[in-house]
Amino acid sequence: MVAPHRAYTPPEREIPADTEDTGDETRESIRAQSTAQVGSHGESGVCFMDTLVMTAPTVENGPAAWRIARDSGVLDVNSSYSYLLWFREFARTSAVALRSGGAPVGFVTGFHRPEQPGTLAVWQIAVDRERRGHGVASALLDHLADRLTAIGALRYLETTIGADNTASDRLFRSFAERHAAPLERDVLFPAELFPDTHEAEFLYRIGPLGRQTA
């Protein structure tokens, strides 16, 4: 098996303690791209190397993100409209992994918490089933973190994870370890709060980010 890309290069710039959401970054910073070499298994079981481009999404990536979420078998699937809207309104705090030809194989959607602009809340992250386990989600998170760090807009990362989602738990613990940042976990939405059979969601809060290097 080809080893996944896990190298993390911390940003050169220091993040001030009172990071504020500047809101005035240029389109260039939104368009910043990075690449990740990932291995994957084709349908024949053959292992191959692929260079994926990590970048901010466009609305044209919305339908693919909706399909990946729908096919994940785990995520709450929102309307197709919401993914197009998200990629229009929150492109700066989201990312897609594109294979050659431009088709998305994974995505992450996020937003800055309105009253804590240095806190990125990750809403959803998912990778095509056949691409999982090869570092794609890790590369997406690292890319997004670097992009926001470069504009001084990342101190903490938050997400919620269902109690039984081992892969997601490991993904975010691994991110915290790579970035040498503390991780706190606590129940956020107990199962009783949900009107259906939704499991409890735990809040993962990672940070402060950008002070130490891995």
Ligand X SMILES: CC(C)(COP(=O)(O)OP(=O)(O)OC[C@H]1O[C@@H](n2cnc3c(N)ncnc32)[C@H](O)[C@@H]1OP(=O)(O)O)[C@@H](O)C(=O)NCCC(=O)NCCS
By CB under 6 A, name the binding residues for ligand X.
Answer: 4, 72, 74-75, 125-127, 132-138, 161, 165-168, 170-171, 174
List, as one string, the DSSP characters of 157-209: EEEEEETT-HHHHHHHHHHHHHTT--EEEEEEE-GGGSSSSPPPEEEEEE---
Q: How far is the CB of 178 from ligand X (least distance, A)?
A: 7
As a residue count, the chain comes to 214
In the numeric block, the tokens 């670097």 are attached to 146
151 neighbors 162 (Cβ within 8 angstroms): no
161 neighbors 202 (Cβ within 8 angstroms): yes
Q: How far is the CB of 136 from ligand X (least distance, A)?
A: 4
CB-nearer residue toward ligand X: 137 or 148: 137
Q: How far is the CB of 97 from ligand X (least distance, A)?
A: 9
CB-nearer residue toward ligand X: 21 or 142: 142
CB-nearer residue toward ligand X: 166 or 212: 166
CB-nearer residue toward ligand X: 149 or 168: 168
Q: How far is the CB of 118 from ligand X (least distance, A)?
A: 21
Q: Which residues, 6 or more positions from 150, have their beta carbon under 8 angstroms from its beta carbon?
A: 11, 13, 29, 32
139 neighbors 97 (Cβ within 8 angstroms): yes
Q: How far is the CB of 189 from ligand X (least distance, A)?
A: 13
40 SS3 class: strand
CB-nearer residue toward ligand X: 96 or 161: 161
In the numeric block, the tokens 């992450």 are attached to 108
CB-nearer residue toward ligand X: 19 or 109: 109
Tokens of 110: 């996020």
Q: How far is the CB of 20 from ligand X (least distance, A)?
A: 27
165 neighbors 114 (Cβ within 8 angstroms): no
165 neighbors 178 (Cβ within 8 angstroms): no
